[in-house]
Structure 1
Amino acid sequence: MRANTVAVIALPLLAAGARHGHNHAEAHRDGAHRRALITEVIVVTETIFETLILESSSTSSANPPCYPSAILSVSSSLPLTNSTKVPEEDAPPVASPTTSPPKDNTDGKNFSILIPEAYTALVKNSCDYDVYITSSGDDSCGPGVDCQLVPANTTYTEKIRICDRSGISLKVAMTEAMTDVMQFEYTVWDDQKTVSYDISYLDCMKNGNGEQDLSACAGHDGGIQAAAGADCPTYQCVANEWCAQQAYVVAEFDYKPGAPVGACGIEKGIAFELCAGNRSE
């Protein structure tokens, strides 16, 4: 597996099961790819929203693709316990995030603040249509879900999974066929205290012959955002606009510095939102 190095820090955001240097678009079939990172910070304030808890089940090709019955209950919070507990022993030192916000923010077009849950990865579906989510990672990551139905205005959650030098891709599609997947990616670092996260349009966009079309990507018609703790970067893609700086629309960010990858403490959780512009609170 090869890593891209920038002047500030190299972030181990890895392809699940991909260790041989193939490109980002190929790695999306299995999970998240190793990324280069310049970490940055944006300050947010607290808000509260209701979360729909979905049951996690192991993926299996023998099972039917989607399970609406797996929706269990609605609650205002999640327990802070985590099936993949962060080890207490000393870990290798990692660089701290910088104090500057992402360079290409949306210049006043910010969405409502998105608040994550501790030790949790969540995808808030603020669209007026249902979506399907597959949580993809290699065997070391533990069980995920396969083509889980997430109804409009509900939230998918899973405890942040720690993998063996690989990561998780939360693949989101508008149909059970899971075609043209929008991807939200995260990876826990080797220190098992830090998690990196990003937005990828690489498998749902159209960019041949000069096109810049993200209309097939779930949630982009209402805008997309990714967030973590209050002192960690937020990334936002405005509805129906090309998003070349806040998300991946070029594999490996064309190996340039300033890749749109955030890093935050695992205890703060990470959150992604579809159709973020639909939510006003």
Structure 2
Amino acid sequence: MSSHPLRIAVAGASGRMGRMLIEAIAASGDCQLTAALDQPQSPSLGQDAAAFLGQSSGVAIESDLRSALAKADFLIDFTRPEGTLAHLQVCAELGVKVVIGTTGFDDAGKAAIAAAAQKTAVVFAPNMSVGVNVTLKLLELAAQALPDYDIEIVEAHHKHKVDAPSGTALKMGEVIAAAQNTALADRAVYERYGHTGARKAGSIGFATIRGGDIVGDHTVLFAGTGERIEISHKSSSRAGYAEGSVQAVRFLAKHSAGLFDMFDVLKLR
């Protein structure tokens, strides 16, 4: 292990995920929080980023992106697509490596991430949880072994989540479709209402639940004749996402440029 700690900036530092990241960095042993970013109107500006832990990090929450990135070699970003893309442009310019946990990007946003990854190293995954990514690997195996089973994806999240289906649910669909040499866009059914007719063979259905403080539940149902298989992952806290993000930083420390995901980080290819 290097004697120099990995210098990390966290975007959205006073949000729920930002705080989980700060806590995971503080507990890591080989990483150091060197900058904490939030929006200009945040009431947390100027406060110590670790104050919520009853600790002093010596890092004040700020809104100046360039000032923050000048103090860091890595940025972990779980904000909103427009904010992440703005941060990413400056990171690519300055050579700061980026872990992106933000979801809800459109095709243009994904293309912008790929372009930035030619200049700096990026880990981009819709879910940073180690457990979720192992679940994706299990889905890949199941999809290959059960080509004729009906597939339904059910996801549940807290009432504040703004995109649906979740990025993780969509990734599950993409992994399943790719394992069967197809494209999700040709198979996905996102809404059912009224007289829908019989289920279309080969379709991948999605169902979305929003309520309360559910951190994130995902279940994939493979339904055959006389049996069904359910593969589920349930998050009870955001700690798993934070720990996976720290693992992604360690992975990026060995790369100068390129676009990677958590399968690369966890050697699940």
TM-score of the two chains, using structure 1 as the length reference: 0.23
Q: Which has the higher contact order (CA 8 A, sep 6+)?
A: 1
